[in-house]
Amino acid sequence: MQGKTSNFNIIILFFVVICLFAVSCQDLFFPWVDGREADDGVLTIPPAAIPPGMGVFYLNVDEDVSSRAIVPGLGSISSFVLKFINEPSGISLDLIEILSLDEPVFLPPGSYTLEVSAFSNFPDPAVKNLAAQGTSEVFTIAAGSVSSANVALNAAAISEGGSGSFAWCITVPDGNAFLESNIIVKRYSDEQVMVNLFDQQPVNNGGSFQISGQTALDSGYYIFLIYLKKDAAFAPVSLRQILHVYKNMESFFELELSEESFTELDPLFEGSGTESNPFLITNEYQLRQAGRAGANDNAFAAWTLGAHYKLTANITLSGGNDNWEPIGEDFAGNLFTGTFDGNGFGISAIKMDHGFDAGFFGAVGENGVVKNLNIINADIIGDMFVGALVGTNKGIIFNCTASGNVRGESSVGGLVGWSSGTIQNCYFIGNASGGNFSWLVGGIVGNSEGVVRNCFAAGNVIGGEDVGGITGSNDQGIVQNNIALNEFIAAYYDMQNFVGRVLAYNNSGQLINNYAFANMIVKYNWNGVSGIDEPLEKELNQTDGQDISKAQIKTRAAWETAGFTFNGSPWVWQDGKMPRLYWENKR
């Protein structure tokens, strides 16, 4: 008990020291906290924080306003809009919005008067109502110094009503069409869009290229938004401006952009998509372009189904349910025929409910290759041809892993739904399942007409009929050197021979040197609670494979007997653990 008390005192002492240090270093870490000196009310800000040639202004208002209770019933203030008018020229600066009286405003030297409009969020927090207005006396801004002005805000000073107009003119450096452009005018109070113009292109006006327009608006405050994207290699120009439309008057906004306004971006991606120089995928946005041929972003038009890709980072998909559209689709004839090298990296949190060809890849064609990829914690739902990695495979898949849950009704596999190609040196850890009338459900692949070699699966496999730990069915294919480590396999069908430890149905295919967990539970006539034990044929070249015990699973010799090689590639052995692919020790 004494030890716990002593530790607690040490923690308290440490916390106090940290707090004292933070207070003593406030000026070092925070140039200003709220911009005001509490003792004498003098406004302060470190000189180094003031832009060269500028002065600092703070707004002072009546005490009842600063306490956010202007007029009974109006509620709290959400923002102030400031209009600075240069004296004696009468020229107004752009409107400035501040959310707090502690926000500094940087102004060029000169004399000014100030018009202030205060907005309340009462009664609807989502709507800004004009609550009060006021005007200051003349005040002076000096370079490098701090000034303030007192404004008495008065709810009676509000004078809205009637309508006016707003016009804009944006001068751009050349007449080239913009990849994207958008002009938006929103009502300030509730941000309702009043004007929304897309694809505004520059017009030659006497030698200068301009984007201009005009619209009628009710008097009041508005937000003017500009978005201009020159092309994919340059950052867009965007601007947010507060404006005031007056009754029976025209408000005008003018902006001149230069070439320097459009800053050149780093390349959107690296690589050319060839086998020797694949497109490099480093983030989720790039991943979502693979195989889409520019459908989402025309800058990625070369990212076709036949291109070559290489993953350079682990990526976790954002979004909730159904957050991924599979790459490729067999029924439409759009199969992936390039190469996707996971490079030992993983893609996490794929979730989908897709129908046919459901998986990270919907369909891989005869020339397609998927390798060295890890699909992590997938949640895949489909109807037919459903797998965590690939829905339909006609190509080559090797050195890949997947984990998660896969559900469907026909040709459902933990890794691949249906395959006439090759699946080699892969494993799946998770659950593969179907409904009462589902068929062809397997731990690695639901239905194979190709090669499944040197793979293992762990987890539960449940379906209607033709349910197996490695594959549901082998149709004239080769199933060789595989180990089914599933704890539980069950078929809803009420007859024998529709469920097996390695596979359920073999149609003139080759079964060579396959093993299964000796303690695996295999049931038919499963009703979700109980079933009947399936008679087993425990032989190397039969559907149930040869027994491998729990103790043998932890030995290298048992895996080598099953045909796995541990020469540094593709498999790596660590005593007491399951085999790992060579790239798993590098990530």
**Phi-psi region for residue 411, left (φ > 0), alpha (ψ -120 to 50) or beta?**
left
Which pLDDT value is given to residue 236?
76
Helix (H, G, I), strand (E, B) or coil at 48: helix
State mean pLDDT over 539-552: 95
Q: Is the predicted pLDDT of residue 156 greater than 50, yes or no?
A: yes
pLDDT tens digits, 99-142: 878 888 999 999 999 998 888 775 566 677 787 788 999 999 99
Q: What is the pTM assigned to this prediction? A: 0.60
DSSP letters of 160-208? Answer: --SEEEEEEEEEESS-PPPSEEEEEEEETTT--EEEEEES---EEETTE
Cα 439 to Cα 261: distance, rounded to the nearest angstrom: 61
Helix (H, G, I), strand (E, B) or coil at 45: coil
Which pLDDT value is given to residue 267?
66
Which pLDDT value is given to residue 34?
37
Tell which residue, 153, 141, 169, has the closest CA to residue 254: 169
Q: Is the predicted pLDDT of residue 444 greater than 90, yes or no?
A: yes
Give the mean pLDDT of the chain: 85
State mean pLDDT over 494-518: 95
pLDDT tier for residue 252 given thresholds of 50, 70 and 90: confident
Task: Determine which of 37-46, 419-428, 455-464, 483-492 has the lowest per-residue pLDDT on average.
Answer: 37-46
Helix (H, G, I), strand (E, B) or coil at 375: strand
Q: Which residues pair with 427 in a beta bridge?
A: 401, 456
Helix (H, G, I), strand (E, B) or coil at 102: coil
State mean pLDDT over 432-443: 96
Which pLDDT value is given to residue 263?
74
CB 50 within 8 A of CB 142: no
Percent with pLDDT over 90 in the chain: 53
CB 112 within 8 A of CB 139: yes
Cα 386 to Cα 498: distance, rounded to the nearest angstrom: 20
* Domains located in the chain, CATH noted: 47-157 (2.60.40), 163-261 (2.60.40.10), 271-310 (no CATH), 379-576 (2.160.20.110)
CB 49 within 8 A of CB 31: yes
pLDDT tier for residue 65 given thresholds of 50, 70 and 90: very low
Residues 6 or more apart whose CB falls under 8 angstroms from that of 30 comprise: none
CB 79 within 8 A of CB 117: no
Q: Is the predicted pLDDT of residue 318 greater than 70, yes or no?
A: yes
Of 375 and 151, the structure prediction assigns the larger pLDDT to: 375
**Residue type (1 letter), 451:** V
Structure tokens at 325: 């559209």
Q: Is the predicted pLDDT of residue 375 greater than 90, yes or no?
A: yes
Of 299 and 116, the structure prediction assigns the larger pLDDT to: 116
pLDDT tens digits, 347-369: 999 999 999 999 999 999 999 99
Strand 315-316 and strand 346-348: the pairing is parallel
Cα 27 to Cα 260: distance, rounded to the nearest angstrom: 35
pLDDT tens digits, 382-405: 999 999 999 999 999 999 999 999
pLDDT tens digits, 552-577: 999 999 999 999 999 878 999 988 88
**Residue type (1 letter), 104:** P
pLDDT tier for residue 68 given thresholds of 50, 70 and 90: very low
**Residue type (1 letter), 387:** G
Which pLDDT value is given to residue 434?
95
Which pLDDT value is given to residue 51?
84
pLDDT tens digits, 408-437: 999 999 999 999 999 999 999 999 999 999
Cα 179 to Cα 272: distance, rounded to the nearest angstrom: 22
CB atoms within 10 A of CB 222: 24
Cα 402 to Cα 346: distance, rounded to the nearest angstrom: 9
Task: Determine which of 35-39, 116-120, 456-460, 511-515 has the lowest per-residue pLDDT on average.
Answer: 35-39
Which pLDDT value is given to residue 64?
46
Cα 101 to Cα 76: distance, rounded to the nearest angstrom: 13
Q: Is the predicted pLDDT of residue 226 greater than 50, yes or no?
A: yes
State mean pLDDT over 194-221: 87
- Token pair 């004839």 is found at 333
Of 299 and 212, the structure prediction assigns the larger pLDDT to: 212
Which pLDDT value is given to residue 162?
79
Structure tokens at 82: 């400031």
Return the CA Rg of the chain: 34
What end-to-end distance do the CA atoms of the chain give, in Å? Answer: 44
Structure tokens at 516: 């299964």
Q: Is the predicted pLDDT of residue 373 greater than 90, yes or no?
A: yes
Cα 90 to Cα 138: distance, rounded to the nearest angstrom: 12
CB 375 within 8 A of CB 342: no
Q: Which helix (H) or strand (E) holds 382?
A: none
pLDDT tier for residue 264 given thresholds of 50, 70 and 90: low
Of 260 and 467, the structure prediction assigns the larger pLDDT to: 467
Tell which residue, 548, 473, 485, has the closest CA to residue 511: 473
For 556, half-sphere exposure in the C-beta direction (CA atoms, 13 angstrom radius) is: 9
Task: Determine which of 20-34, 153-167, 271-285 has the lowest per-residue pLDDT on average.
Answer: 20-34
Q: List C-alpha distances in Å: 498 to 426, 440, 441, 473, 543.
A: 25, 10, 11, 10, 11
Which pLDDT value is given to residue 44?
57
For 148, half-sphere exposure in the C-beta direction (CA atoms, 13 angstrom radius) is: 17
Q: Is the predicted pLDDT of residue 268 greater than 80, yes or no?
A: no
Which pLDDT value is given to residue 309?
98
Which pLDDT value is given to residue 241?
85
Cα 443 to Cα 429: distance, rounded to the nearest angstrom: 8
Residues 6 or more apart whose CB falls under 8 angstroms from that of 543 comprise: 468, 500, 501, 502, 503, 504, 505, 506, 511, 537
